[in-house]
Structure 1
Amino acid sequence: MKRILAFVLSVLMVLCLFAGCGKDEEKSPNAPDVNGDGLNKNEVVSGPINPLTGEKVSEDKSDLRPYCVMINNHPDARPSVGLSQASIIYEALAEGGITRMMAVFNDVDGITVGSLRSARPYYISMAQAYDAIYIHAGGSEQAYSDIKTLGIDNMDGVRGARSGEASSYYRDQTRLSQGKNVEHTLFADGSKLASFCKNNYELKHDSSYDNTYGLSFAEDAVSQCTSSSADFTVYYSYYNTTFKYDADKKCYHAFISGDEYIDGGNNSSIDLANVIVLNIPTKTIDSYGRQAMELTGSGTGYFFTGGKYVEINWTRADRADNFHYTLKDGTPLNLSVGKTWISIAPLDSTKGIVFNG
């Protein structure tokens, strides 16, 4: 009899357990909202980020010095390779009215970049804002003088004579076979660049260095903007760059002569979360058309994100300082998380920037 009673009680307990499993649990008002993957949706996810973009990364490299790579923008050099993997892209006027780019990478290991172009003093100044290692192929005599006197850590694909330096660069045989001028065919193997720098330079910032680079990011950065423009053009000279906002992808794409900039290495678009246009005093200094730019002091500009824009101010105390961006009332500017294109627009350009829509 006792055995039968025990069996009945056991069955009742099991039935109660199953009944409980079928009910929705009543949540406490303070219980965290957990989604299907077990993560708390309201919790701020911590972890390493790329300080140049604000994006989450799997490995913390925030204490490593970036690489600033000179990129050719001549029509025969397009499409460039590696731009879609850059964190920040600078575009500024060079000789002949054409622009040249400097791509800022958090790391170049495993990335092919090119075609490579020569150094100019103002690009060296931009690279100094990041305590970066400067990658170039040749340079003006003033640029070489600055590299020497300022002690710029660099790799040169033209005059570089150290072991592993020039051999990190190579000519693209496909482009040569297409009849491209040889000066537009020089590329670099990012893994070899990284290896050379590891053997020749200190890869980490000094412990006292501000590795935020003066940048801050926010999910609601667009709330700072006061006007709308989904299509605008920055005028340099003969060559001009148009930016169009893709509302579906929530990013900007850059165009030149009606053609979109595409990364020739992976045929992908260059998705930009931010575009910054800086009005910079610029002048021609010799018969070759070389430029000089005032990249320290203060000035004005525009910040674009989310199809909107706002006027900004910029300041920079000296060449070793970061660029600091603020709204007109002095409030520090927040960028949207993602890549940034920085246009160095000549202050005396007849058109400057035109809002197309």
Structure 2
Amino acid sequence: MLTKLEIVKIRKLLSNSYNPIYLFDNDVDGICSYLILKKHFEKGQGIAANSAGAEGIDPVYLKLIDEERPDLVVILDKAVITQKFIDSIHCEVLIIDHHPLLKLKRVNYFNPQKHKRNVPTSYMAYQITQDSLWLATIGCIFDYYTPDFIKEFKKMYPDLLDINSNEDPGYLTYETKFGELLNIISFNVKGKNIAQSLKQLESLSSPYDVLNQLTPEGEQVFKKYQKFNKEYLKLFEKARKEVDDGDMIVFTYPSMNTSFTREVSNKLNYMYPNRTVIVAREKDNKYVMSLRNSKKNIGGAIKEALINLDGFGGGHEHAGGCSINKKDFNIFISRIKELMK
């Protein structure tokens, strides 16, 4: 959670900037954070920034930054940012994030963990703007955080969330009409033409624009969601059928054009809250995976299990991700199983 002084500083940086570039994580919290700020300040362009392994944000984006000549680079919801990456940017840098604290020089760095708090980046974006409450709610619930403005959302959109409904993030995601919005946002930053999809998302003024397809842009966003949702549901059903009675669910699948490890692992975690969930996608000579555990610190376990193995990763207390060489996959799984006992 940002302090009042921090909010003032961030507002000043964004208001005074004439050509910002936003680099944001491509999960729903990161996407919503960008959309909230872009819609409010009405300037700049956004890039769903992929990571380059343990080195953090892929340096390929540095070329684009040089070409666009921004006066401010805004980095949102990225867990790993190196000093080398920062030093390659020749303008002011603003970072808003809630992952474990980083030690970086020459940046404007805002993270609630400085105050021993942790809220999603989309929550902070709403603090800054007091706009787009519906997007902030989506981003927060995706990160399994129920915001203090959830009741205001219910009053504004009673057909999406009943005023007396359970406020557990898992319930809201998988048992209500509201939950569909999370995958609508997520699936529109997959596949091709992501820049076009972002512009369409930026144009939405309410959840009804897309749910009821009230605008041409909302119609296109919903159409793309439907396309990817079919692929996701097919993969999820395959994963569900492979679940046995063990304490740990491990589902692997071959490389495909679109990754759904995050979405599949999240839903399996909701359905089987007392188990460790690992969903791993085969990619080249490695496995890229999402890990979940509702009861224990999976983020810390990932770090420990990777010691002396060819891989990298980490995450939050109950959700994380990693990439590991195929040759070390079975060792990693065995270690996670032992650590999660």
TM-score between both structures, scaled by the size of structure 1: 0.26
Identify the structure with the greater helix proportion: 2
With a CA cutoff of 8 Å and minimum separation of 6, indicate the structure with the bigger relative contact order: 1
Q: TM-score with structure 2 length normalisation?
A: 0.27
Q: Which has the higher strand share?
A: 1
